[in-house]
Structure 1
Amino acid sequence: MKTLLIVDDEPRTRQGVKKTLEAWSAGRLRIETAASGVEALEWMEENPTHLIITDVRMPELGGLQMLERMSQAPTKPVVIVISGHAEFEYAHKALQLGVVEYLLKPLDKTKLIHSVEKALELEEDRLRIGRMEKLLDPKLLEAGQVEAKYGQHVRDAIAYIEGHLQDPIGMKQVADHLHMNASYFSVLFKEQTGMTFSDYLTRKRLQRAKELLAQTRMPIWEVAEKIGYQTAKYFIKVFKDSESVSPTQYRQQVSDPEETIK
């Protein structure tokens, strides 16, 4: 369940927004309130928060100052700002801080609900992107960006690897497929990709394993088979040496929404 925090020092506004969104969400959101920026920051230290609706002007700590203090956090909620003042300075600063909507009081209920829907969609997109980034191998990503510069032999080798990940292939098999001397192929591959053939193949297999772990409920032994490992035990060892977690732990991390917001 997503958590929405309403931050406003005016009790009438605070409760009015909460009542409107509770009726609209019909229990789909956890909706909490805070009477100041200081109270909100303290609450967020102990509670994952997906969306904040905050007033700009509040005693002690205004809404924008609160957001500035949150700017160094590893993960940030999506933010909607509300204000009784149509001041350019506030709106400009809000945009700089990544605010997705700037609403003026008195609040139109329809606009408020539309803004919350838009903000939650954006939060879901951020979550999805965060999960996808966990799947990417930086060295493979870098190699893919310059693949067009590789020679034909190396491009053919990469295509062969892609099509035979679940087979117990090795460098000699690929070199033979390309009608090349294995030693020469080894040097050529390392020279162009910056990785040994063995390292590249392992990274490709683990990249595919991450996708299967994140996107399916396939048993670990089957994931191992799908990427060319004959035993789950060896796959688990290789995966743990590379990622510092077991395949099961990795699956829990990427499938748990809370992992990306705590």
Structure 2
Amino acid sequence: MYKLLICEDESLERNALNLLIQRHYRNIHLVGYATTGFEAIKLAHQHLPDIILMDIDMPQCNGLDAQKKICRFLPNVNTVIITAYNDFTYAQQAIKCGVIDFLLKPIAPNDLYNCLDKILKSIQKTDSASAVPPEYTDYIQKILDYIDYHFLDDLNLSDLASKFNLNEKYLSRYFKQKMGTSFTEYIIKLRIERSKNMLEYSDAPIYEIAADLNFNDASYFTKVFQKKEGVSPSQYRKNVGKSQPSRL
């Protein structure tokens, strides 16, 4: 799962970016929103994101200055500048700050997807070249990577075993031994974690979130969520809202 930070002071832009990403990418986790340049630096230091979407016109500290400071402790971060200005001068400055791409407002969904697709391919290529894990670790990691990308589909243990040419019962034991939990519980955990992210960073209704996460219906989603988190999805959203400053 790749971590992404959105740095944008306009609430409509933030929410639009979040919804586009959540619905299109299953291997990207939104770690938070920054509404000022200083907050962008703070959250980048706290979460160490793989990708940053950085508005150039940020209060307190503009996007390029924030990027310069972030690069000091996160030199390999993949930062994309969001700007309303198609200005070559900005492009020159941004390249010097380690920015790898630009998105012009208003952002077209396909432009965002093409940009993120390139970044993900680059990260995955780098990870593959630098990581040489032991055979068994590599095998479980391949399984986990596949699950991370498909956990919102109707993925079951039989399909997973077939994909990796394994006996279903063997895979069940192997997975529980390596992960300390069953395959089914692991899938539910991933979906609940994604739902918490959507409850916190979007205004989507509960039934829509349940559908996006491939739960049978909203009532079942609520039951599972409450069992795992101790509160209902709507109460979780209220609690998170009270603990954070206004995003408007």
TM-score (norm 1): 0.48
Give the conservation status (yes or no) of the 8 Å contact 2:35–2:59: no
Tell me the equivalent position of 1:14.
Answer: 14
**Counterparts of 2:69 and 2:120 in 1: how far apart (Å)?**
22
Corresponding letter in the other structure for 1:79: T
Q: Which secondary structure state, in structure 1, belongs to the residue aligned with residue 82 of structure 2?
A: strand
**Counterparts of 2:109 and 2:84 in 1: how far apart (Å)?**
15
Residue ranges of structure 2 left out of the alignment (5+ in a row): 138-248
Residue ranges of structure 1 left out of the alignment (5+ in a row): 133-210, 219-262
- Return closer, same or farther for 1:20/1:86 CA change in 2, 3 Å cut-off: same
* CA displacement, residues 190-217 of structure 1 (integer Å, 9 cap, x when unaligned): xxxxxxxxxxxxxxxxxxxxx6xx2423
Does residue 107 (structure 1) correspond to residue 107 (structure 2)? The answer is yes
Tell me the equivalent position of 2:28.
Answer: 29
Tell me the equivalent position of 1:217.
Answer: 136
- Return closer, same or farther for 1:75/1:94 CA change in 2, 3 Å cut-off: closer
Matches within 5 A, 1:129-208: 129=129, 131=130
Equivalenced residue count is 136
**Counterparts of 1:34 and 1:72 in 2: how far apart (Å)?**
18
Tell me the equivalent position of 1:122.
Answer: 122
**Counterparts of 1:63 and 1:128 in 2: how far apart (Å)?**
31
Q: Which secondary structure state, in structure 2, belongs to the residue aligned with residue 72 of structure 1?
A: helix
Matches within 5 A, 1:58-69: 58-69=58-69
Q: Which secondary structure state, in structure 2, belongs to the residue aligned with residue 67 of structure 1?
A: helix
**Counterparts of 1:216 and 1:28 in 2: how far apart (Å)?**
23
Tell me the equivalent position of 1:97.
Answer: 97
TM-score (norm 2): 0.51
Mark the structure with the bigger radius of gyration: 1
- Return closer, same or farther for 1:41/1:74 CA change in 2, 3 Å cut-off: closer
RMSD of aligned Cα (Å)? 1.9
Give the conservation status (yes or no) of the 8 Å contact 1:77–1:123: no
Of all paired residues, the percent bearing the same amino acid is 23
Corresponding letter in the other structure for 2:17: V
Q: Which secondary structure state, in structure 2, belongs to the residue aligned with residue 79 of structure 1?
A: strand
- Return closer, same or farther for 1:128/1:61 CA change in 2, 3 Å cut-off: farther
Q: CA deviation at 1:128?
A: 3.7
